[in-house]
Amino acid sequence: MNRNVDAVVIGAGQSGPSLAARLAEAGNKVVLVERRGLGGTCVNDGCIPTKTLIASARAAWVARNTARFGVDIGGDVTVDMKRVKARKDAVVQESRDGLQSWLGNTKGLEIVHGQARFESPRTIRVGDDVIQAERFFVNVGGRAFVPDIPGVKDGPYLTNSSMMDVDTLPEHLVILGGSYVGLEFAHMYRRFGSRVTVIERGPHIISREDTDVSEAIREVLELEGIDIVLNATIKAVERNNGRVTVVTADRRIEGSDLLVAVGRVPNTSDLGAEKAGIELDKRGYIRVDDELKTTVPGIWAVGDCNGRGAFTHTSWNDYEIVAANLLDGDKRRLSDRIPIYGLFVDPPLGRVGMNEAEARASGKRVLVGKRMMTRVGRARERSETHGFIKVLVDADTKLILGAAIFGIEGDEVVHSIADVMYARAPYTVISRAVHTHPTVSELVPTTLQSLSPLT
């Protein structure tokens, strides 16, 4: 069937649904194409399900550690993985149902299920449907990268997506990759009761972070019994009698299950980008400008597939930028965005702006303030004193360059710093502020009152 509409949104991740609804509400006839469940990675196998699982894992950890708070449970603490998965599935389904109800009741918006491929700059095909439009918005997301290591693809392996189907407890989960995805699964499954080994090719886990951040997180994970293997060159993966063995240059690591978490790739290989003239970079990400326009007039790329952010919140901000420029007459740019993200191990890491290496490379005179969580009242009260607060400041402008807060509630506290950065206000706005005691946030002013040159 051939038809013409005003706009097509390809992919129902974080950007797509809101953009499709805004366009429809503005009087456009809109088609939203999705080849699997509404909500993309975040709803189906990313933020929502993984953080739901992390909540169950933390409940198990708290139950096992009640004695130090003077509370006796009595008996062993066990985890029923089928019930854990059922709880996760229910939370995910609620999000899917909410999206379906909202989008399905939006006038002028049609949802089409299937794989969309460009046939020209103004035409896509979805099964037997050929749809023409003046505007296209690509929100196809990404997926786990599976490396071409001998033996990896020869037998069963898990990714962040297939982990969502697991309702049993792996006896020994071996994880390839010591970055954000791998570490979150490592921590939750260790708390569920699995033995866990993380294999990382670099000298540090989460290599993007400062060394002190990486080492502090490693210490927490190892204290809970997670084995971390660094500087590992993986030669092959072998399978025998239902077991998996990762062969490195200097050892053999045997486990029951293999999780591959070594990175992500964009879902652009089957998009037909070449037929539309859409330019991709060498990794397959769609090239975009500061307003998220592609190299083809009338086509935008939002979310993970443009390589300008790999998070739900950056995808959402992509939607806001496009909607503001197209529909609101409000000039917004990608370059206005300050990098911010979290690592949701426990305690969590909150990160915003530059790290130390980036600050040094900037050529600025940099000041640093650092306070250990052992000095935070909230952390001591809850006996969760791992980590620290660290803030970087430009000595000349007094603007905050970045921060890392690894510790209890660090993923929330970091936003107080981010907001001052967006306001382009000097660090003294926080350092002279009065915060509530006893909280984690009250130590941010104290940290900023003791700045010294970054060496």
248-284: per-residue pLDDT in tens? 999 999 999 999 999 999 999 999 999 999 999 999 9
Q: Residue 110 and residue 11: Cα distance in Å, rounded?
A: 13
Give the chain's mean pLDDT: 97
Is the model's pLDDT at 90 over the cut of 90? yes
DSSP 106: S
Look at residue 12 in the predicted model and tell me its pLDDT: 97
Of 113, 172, 187, 437, catalytic: 437
366-390: per-residue pLDDT in tens? 999 999 999 999 999 999 999 999 9
209-241: per-residue pLDDT in tens? 999 999 999 999 999 999 999 999 999 999 999
CA 327, 329, 334, 336: dihedral to nearest 10 degrees?
-140
Least confident of 70-74, 216-220, 320-324: 70-74
Pairing mode, strands 252-255 and 243-248: antiparallel
What residues contact 50, with CB distance under 8 A and at least 6 apart? 160, 184, 185, 188, 344
Is the model's pLDDT at 1 over the cut of 80? no
What residues contact 423, with CB distance under 8 A and at least 6 apart? 429
Q: Which domains does the chain have, with CATH numbers?
A: 2-144+265-336 (3.50.50.60), 152-262 (3.50.50.60), 340-453 (3.30.390.30)
Give the closest residue to 264 by CA, choosing from 301, 215, 321, 303: 303
Is the model's pLDDT at 247 over the cut of 90? yes
415 flagged as catalytic: no
Look-up of token digits 């409940």 = 59
